[in-house]
Amino acid sequence: PLTASTNFPNPFWLTGWSGVVNNAQFDLGHIKGFSLELSVGGEIAFGETVSGSFSLDPFRAVEVVEVLPTLEEAKCIKEEGLYLFEWATHFYRRIEFQVNGCCDLCHEDSDCLFALTNGRDCLLAGNNDFNTSYVGIYSTQREIDTYQTFWTNSAEKRGDWCQKCSCESDTIDCRGYDLLIMPKTFDNSTGFIPRVLDLREN
């Protein structure tokens, strides 16, 4: 039977050094997974081998659970409270009457990094157009109710941290790289493990 406790030698023994203790209660209705640990008694030095056998018979799944597919990643990220000044007309490409589809338009546009909806039109801004002097914070309830600001979530357009910045030692150094948007991906196939992210002078 599936019974467990925190006491040895119960077959389902919560050792404390493996797994998550939480309330230390074994609840059959909340089993999400399991792991097997083989413990060897006696003084065994590192690198030595032991032999033996164990049996898991009978061991079978009693219920097949359908795993739902992962939800599609958002194409854009809504930036609450950030306002891109609408009057800077040279800063935007205006697409009239496209409020609801503005995120999709930015996602499909190869140059779009940021988008703004003003209750009627969709305004797209690319890398070459962007000027931080045209960025502000909503100051009135009307602006909060009227405008929505997005930035792209495209890995292709946002790029990789180590391509946009310098990755050396234990630091991703982005100082002075004039980043307009946070990179999205991180390729650690080289074994580089960062501990510091420096975003000064951007």
Between the ranges 43-47, 53-57, 116-120, where is the mean pLDDT highest? 116-120
- Please tell me the predicted confidence (pLDDT) of residue 85: 74
Residue 134 neighbours by CB distance under 10 Å: 17
Cis peptide before 9 (omega within 30 of 0): yes
Interval 32-43 mean pLDDT: 70
Interval 146-169 mean pLDDT: 90
Cβ pair 77, 150 in contact under 8 A: yes
- Please tell me the predicted confidence (pLDDT) of residue 128: 65
- Does the structure show a pLDDT above 80 at 86? no
Pairing between strand 76-78 and 148-152?
Answer: antiparallel
Instruction: Using pLDDT thresholds of 50, 70 and 90, give the confidence band for residue 71.
Output: low
**DSSP three-state, residue 69:** coil
- Please tell me the predicted confidence (pLDDT) of residue 1: 62
Distances (CA, A) of 25 to 6, 18, 46, 61, 199: 9, 15, 34, 23, 45
Between the ranges 12-26, 77-91, 153-167, where is the mean pLDDT highest? 153-167
- Does the structure show a pLDDT above 90 at 174? yes
**DSSP three-state, residue 84:** strand
